[in-house]
Copies of this chain bind each other. A is one copy, B any other.
Amino acid sequence: MAQKPETRKEEIVRTAEMLFKKKGYSAVTMRDIAQAMGIKAASLYNHIQSKQQILSEIIIKIGEDFTEGMAEIVAAELTSIQKLEKIIGLHVKITMKNPSRMATMNNDWMHLEEKIDYYLQLRRNYEESFRQILKEGIEKQELKAVNPEIILFSILSTLRSLYLWIPKKEDINQEDLLQTLSKVLLKGIVK
């Protein structure tokens, strides 16, 4: 199958992602991005308005992918445990596809300017949907009656750190990781 060729703009975003991951958003200049691509800084501006626009495209795209995935999960006819498995799957899938984007989202979201409120809203809504699934699960006695804030924090910390860990485990298979992670996060490790 022929892959769609990368547009110049996609190449800029991909190069920026790599540099943001390595040095952090603040330390990267438009000139660095141009240099890494072997072109002049001025020609970047034919494709993109600013470094801020690149950051915003990276983070908002991922934020919206999570929002969309969560909306499908919330709407599905599933038990709360099945919904939690789907959430774990969503994080594994998005992170395995874009570990650098996840790094940028995690490390540099606070450098968003115009879009920061929108990003924080997406994030709050995501956490709120997650919290509701946990509360429902506790109510229906599918989950243990444990403080849902601690469950939310604990599971999300692991899922949000996947980008740090996955690139070091190149031999790992998406399906195996999902199965094992679901087991560990949902059923614990004590025999």
Contacts and interface: CB of A to CB of B under 8 A. Distances in A.
A87 to B, nearest CB: 13
Nearest to A152: B165
A131 to B, nearest CB: 13
A150 B190 contact: no
Grouping DSSP codes into helix (H, G, I), strand (E, B) and loop, the A interface class, with mixed when no group exceeds half, is helix
A146 B27 contact: no
Nearest to A184: B154
One complex includes copies of this chain to the number of 2
A142 B190 CA distance: 6
A8 interface: no
A186 to B, nearest CB: 5
Given A157-B157, A158-B157, A161-B161, A151 B187 contact: no
B26 A180 contact: no
A186 B144 CA distance: 13
Interface of A: 24, 26-27, 81, 134, 137, 141-144, 146-147, 149-151, 153-154, 157-158, 160-161, 164-165, 169, 177, 180-181, 183-191
Task: Identify the 3 closest CB pairs spanning chains A and B, nearest first.
Answer: A188-B188, A157-B161, A187-B188
